[in-house]
Amino acid sequence: SEDEFEIPLLPCGKNLTINIHTTWGDKHYVGLNGIEVFSKDGCLAKISKITANPPDINILPGYHNDPRRFTNLLNGVNQTCDDINMWLAPYTAGASHLIHILFAEPTHLAAIRIWNYNKSRIHSHRGAKDITVTLDDKLIFCGEIKKASGVATGDLDSFGDNILFTVDDNILEKIADNDAAFPDNSYLLQAGDYSTQVTKRPLTGDKVVDVQRERPFTSIVGKTAVTAEIETSGTYCVKCIKLRLISNWGGSHIGLVGLQMLGEESELIPIELHRIKLMTNELAGGGDASDINRIINGTNITMDSNKMWQIPFSGNPCVISVNFVQAVQITGFRVWNYNASFEDTYSGVKEVVIELDGQVFTTNSFVLRRAPGHVHYDFAQDVHFESKKAALVGSPSFKPKNNAITAHNHPHSDQYETPNAPTGFVYKFELLDTWGDLYYIGLNGLELYDEHGQLLKLTENEIAAFPSSVNILDQSLDDVRTPDKLINGINDTLDGRNMWLSPVLPGQVNLIYVVFDFPVTISMIKIWNYAKTTSRGVKTVAILVDDLLIYNGFLPPVRPKSSQVKPHVIQFTDQGGMDSQPTEITQDIQFTNNNRVLSAKYKKQVDQDLRPMTAMGPNQKIFKARF
């Protein structure tokens, strides 16, 4: 009936068909690791032929000789995360996805083991969920198959399901004797999951939609020790990760503030206190191996050396080893480099080589960004193993430039001779003064362009300011003029809700940081000055990359009552085709009398108690003045 279905005992037949109706959530692909069928004598049934419909993803446009074929279902390699040994086919909601198995002779079935798709935690959603099984066109099972865990270790339950067609202990013991998956095989003696009545689940996919046009591309990249798919950033199933610290930034010590492991969706993977170890020969010069525990204490945005790890460093590599109880899926790590002071940042780690379960990930080393020497922003750096942008010493993606000034002609850079195509991790903008306002400074926006002249799409994690915004003042807790407005793309505007504004504080230069996890080369910068109150716009700006000055000059103010806010363009290349829109240049003239400056307005003392209030809420309307 539709309500209940009773699994038959030892059904006999020659043609077995498995129909996969739904997946565990994936809308585009369905797959399995393997299938095992046991006969009543406890042995694996003799199979003469296996087919599938659809057969595999090679039927899709753009695929050719992808190894994830249905023949892998019988290759015996089932307890794995290596998708080169799996079957993968296109999935269409509401359609049938059939696997046909022909036995060499009529066979009494005692058990069927379904190894569900186990590429990773994310990709396990491609596994089969609701299935029906027929033998010689007679229904022998309908129900749900467990989702695989996505890791290569664990109990049988973490890989899929057993469908039992017997409760005979003698047969179960024979199956246990022939089961290669688990030596003790005690799980088969629990004739539990599907030896009783099960409720038939309704099939999903009542509304058939066309997902083919949106199906993401999936492909295996070569056959290495660990395979990865193009559509992911590289997921690895490992139990032990070693970070071999090769060099620092020039100090006499080497150290870190914090370390975290990143999962498939950049989620944090907990590191237990007793499972992180330090291996080094440097401790004779001072230091304690147990101090390595400080890098997982959770206090990362700090300048307190008592919350950091550091040991003497003479050039001999030291190794940080992280072990997990069972294999985990990782894509990379997050690190906070040593940050006790600006001078001590040179004790931070520079080059690190990664080992995964004893195998060196790459012969090249990853480059870690030097810490800033302050806590103006979260200086965490994410390093993804398979990222094409990761800084790898010795690889084409890491080409450090000396940022030296070269002779080239810029159409409007007569204020300062800029270097050609500077490269670095951190671009710092020092906003030195305004066009008259003594209390606030702001910008409409900024854009950075790479070495090919393409706009860099910055994220909120890559932009910071100090002071961050007017919200640091008690009177402006909900002001919307925050640093993210600098990169929202709305720059030619008079709407203050799409601008950034910060207080000018005594003795503090206003700073904007653009922070990358990998070295970035730029060819051009565009800056839109503050347009809501033009006197609050930036007048003088200095730009540094990794603490090296690459530009110093003036930004023209926005003209009052102007209907258009034009950017100031700073070029760092001779390459043609760049935006060479002329910008208005304004120069200061200083008058002196007998070597004495006639005006010293820039030295005027500012009374902070007289700071005018300013506020811009998210729903505040902009009114035009009547006069």
Among residues 212, 291, 301, the alpha carbon closest in space to that of 27 is found at: 212
Share of the chain above pLDDT 70, in %: 77
Question: What does the DSSP assignment read for 323-349?
Answer: EEEEEEEE-EEEEEE--SSTGGGGGBE
Q: Name the most confidently modeled range: 98-102, 121-125, 223-227.
A: 98-102
Report pLDDT digits (tens) over 578-617: 555 544 555 556 666 665 555 444 445 676 767 777 766 6
Which run of H or E residues covers position 96? none
Asked if residues 467 and 483 have their Cβ atoms less than 8 Å apart, the reply is no
Report pLDDT digits (tens) over 154-201: 777 789 999 999 999 999 989 988 887 754 443 333 333 433 333 333
Terminal Cα distance for the chain, rounded: 82
Which residues, 6 or more positions from 602, have their beta carbon under 8 angstroms from its beta carbon? 433
Higher pLDDT, 98 or 173: 98
Asked if residues 219 and 94 have their Cβ atoms less than 8 Å apart, the reply is no
Which residues, 6 or more positions from 170, have their beta carbon under 8 angstroms from its beta carbon? none
Q: How far is CA 523 from CA 369, 511, 573, in A?
A: 21, 21, 5
Q: In a 10 Å sphere around its CB, with 0-12 CB exposed, 13-18 middle and 19+ buried, how is residue 216 labelled?
A: exposed
- Exposure pattern of 400-439 as b/e (b: 16+ CB <10 Å)? eeebeeeeeebebbeebebbbbbbbbbbbbbbebbbebbb
Mean pLDDT check: name the lowest of 176-190, 245-259, 452-466. Answer: 176-190
Higher pLDDT, 520 or 231: 520
Asked if residues 30 and 54 have their Cβ atoms less than 8 Å apart, the reply is no
pLDDT value at residue 218: 62
The distance from CA 549 to its chain's CA centroid, rounded to whole angstroms, is 31
Mean pLDDT check: name the lowest of 102-116, 328-342, 465-479. Answer: 465-479
pLDDT band at 385 (very low <50, low <70, confident <90, very high): confident
Asked if residues 301 and 336 have their Cβ atoms less than 8 Å apart, the reply is yes
Average pLDDT, stretch 404-414? 42
pLDDT value at residue 598: 52
**Res 288 pLDDT > 90:** no
State the average pLDDT for the chain. Answer: 81
pLDDT band at 627 (very low <50, low <70, confident <90, very high): very low
Reduced to 3 states (helix: H, G, I; strand: E, B; else coil), residue 293 is helix
Average pLDDT, stretch 146-151? 88
Angle among Cα 488, 473, 500 to the nearest 5 degrees reads 20
pLDDT value at residue 226: 32
Average pLDDT, stretch 513-538? 94
The distance from CA 216 to its chain's CA centroid, rounded to whole angstroms, is 18
Average pLDDT, stretch 254-276? 90
pLDDT value at residue 596: 59
Q: In a 10 Å sphere around its CB, with 0-12 CB exposed, 13-18 middle and 19+ buried, how is residue 226 labelled?
A: middle
**Res 232 pLDDT > 50:** no
- Exposure pattern of 350-382 as b/e (b: 16+ CB <10 Å)? bbbbbbbeeeebeebbbbbbbbbbeebbebbbb
Q: Name the most confidently modeled range: 124-138, 276-290, 563-577.
A: 124-138
Angle among Cα 473, 476, 481 to the nearest 5 degrees reads 105
Report pLDDT digits (tens) over 76-88: 889 888 888 899 9
pLDDT value at residue 346: 96
Average pLDDT, stretch 122-136? 93
Q: Name the most confidently modeled range: 42-51, 416-425, 572-581, 594-603.
A: 42-51
Residue with tokens 């009494």: 108
Residue with tokens 């009529």: 106
Sign of torsion over alpha carbons 217, 220, 221, 227: positive
**Res 350 pLDDT > 70:** yes
pLDDT value at residue 40: 94
Residue with tokens 């393409």: 454
pLDDT value at residue 257: 97
Average pLDDT, stretch 130-150? 94
Asked if the bond preceding 483 is cis, omega within 30° of 0, the reply is no
pLDDT value at residue 209: 35
pLDDT value at residue 413: 45
pLDDT value at residue 447: 96
CA pair distance 90, 93, nearest whole angstrom: 10
pLDDT value at residue 406: 42
Average pLDDT, stretch 104-110? 95
Beta pairing class for 29-39 and 87-90: antiparallel
Count CB atoms within 10 A of the CB of residue 285: 12
